[in-house]
Amino acid sequence: MSPALFDKSKDMTMSPLFLGASALIVLAYVIKAILSRPQKLDLPIVGKPGADYWQEALLEGTTKYPNTPFVLPSDPPLVVLPHCTHEEVRTLTEEKVSFQEEVHRMFLSAHTKVGTDFPVVVKTVKTDLTRHSASTVGALEDETNYALDTEFGTGESWTKVVLFEKVVRIVALVSGRVFVGRPLSRNEEWLQASIQYTIDCAKARDAANEWPVWTRYFVVPFLPEIKKVKSHTVKAAELLKPLINQCIQRFKEGKGIGGESGDEFDDDQGTFVSWIMKHTSPELRENPYSLAINQLTLSFASIHTTTMAVCHILFDLASHPEFIAPLREEIEQVIAEDGFEVDGSGKKCLKKQSMAKLKKLDSLLKESQRVNPPGIIANSRITTAPLHLSTGHTIPKGTRIGYDAQVLNTAGPNLSLLPHDPSTMPQLDPPSVFSPFRFASIRETPGNESKYQFVTTSKEAMNFGHGNHACPGRFFAGVEIKVILIELLRGWDFRNVGDTEMKGGGRPENFCVDTAINPNPVAEIEFKRRV
Domains of the chain, by residue range, sit at 3-35, 113-375+413-459+463-529
- Distance of alpha carbon 287 from its chain centroid, rounded? 26
Give Cβ neighbours of residue 162 (< 8 Å, ≥ 6 apart): 521, 522, 523, 524
Q: Rounded CA gap, 85 and 68, in Å?
A: 9
Identify the CATH number of the domain defined by range 113-375+413-459+463-529: 1.10.630.10
Binding-site positions:
471
Helix (H, G, I), strand (E, B) or coil at 44: coil
Produce one character per residue of 327-354: b if its CB has 16 or more CB atoms within 10 Å, e if not: beebbeebbeeeeebebeeeeebbbbeb
CB contact at 8 A, 470 and 457: yes
Binding-site positions for heme:
471
Q: What is the pLDDT of residue 324?
A: 98
Q: What is the mean pLDDT of each run of 10 residues along the chain (531 residues)?
A: 46 54 51 53 92 92 96 94 94 92 86 83 91 91 95 89 98 95 94 92 89 87 94 93 85 59 61 84 85 87 94 98 98 94 82 94 98 95 96 96 93 68 76 93 88 92 91 96 98 96 94 94 96 81
Q: What is the pLDDT of residue 144?
A: 96
pTM reported for the whole predicted model: 0.90
Give strand pairing partners of 71: 45, 79
Which H or E run includes 25? helix 16-35
Q: What is the pLDDT of residue 21?
A: 53
The DSSP output letter for 156 is -
Q: What is the pLDDT of residue 269?
A: 58
What backbone phi and psi angles, to 5 degrees, belong to 203? -65, -40
